Amino acid sequence: MHLIQIFLPLVGNKRDSSKRFAEVRDQLTTRFGGATLYRNAPAEGLWEDEGAVEKDFIIIAEVMAVELDQNWWADYRKELERRFKQDEIVVRAVSMTRL
């Protein structure tokens, strides 16, 4: 079993962002049977880029999957980068045991 997390940027106006997050939620729910989006309090992400500190506010989407289809996830990440107009969106997977 795998837990897949997608770090999505909170960009644009609230209406536009809400629609994009709803699309991601619906796509993930259809494909994996459920999804969780942490969006009540956006997380703040900081990283250094050429000596300057960049800042983003993010929403984290999570799904659990028995199999990890890395090709599908790579294609979906590229789609999200295009949709959210980002150079990179982080998608990570961790092995997990359901208790």
Q: What is the mean pLDDT of each run of 10 residues along the chain (99 residues)?
A: 93 68 94 89 73 82 95 96 91 94
Residue 10 has what pLDDT? 82
Quick one: tokens of 22?
């709803």
Residue 16's pLDDT is 65
The widest CA-to-CA distance across the chain, in whole angstroms, is 43
pLDDT of residue 2: 97
CA distance 51 to 43: 22
CA 55 to chain CA mean position, Å: 17
What is the tally of structural domains in the chain?
1
Q: Determine the pLDDT at residue 12.
A: 58
Q: What is the pLDDT of residue 9?
A: 87
> Which range of residues forms the domain containing residue 40?
2-95
Distant-in-sequence contacts of 16-22, Cβ < 8 A, 24+ apart:
20/83, 20/84, 21/59, 21/61
State residue 41's pLDDT score. 61
The domain that holds 82 is classified in CATH as: 3.30.70.120
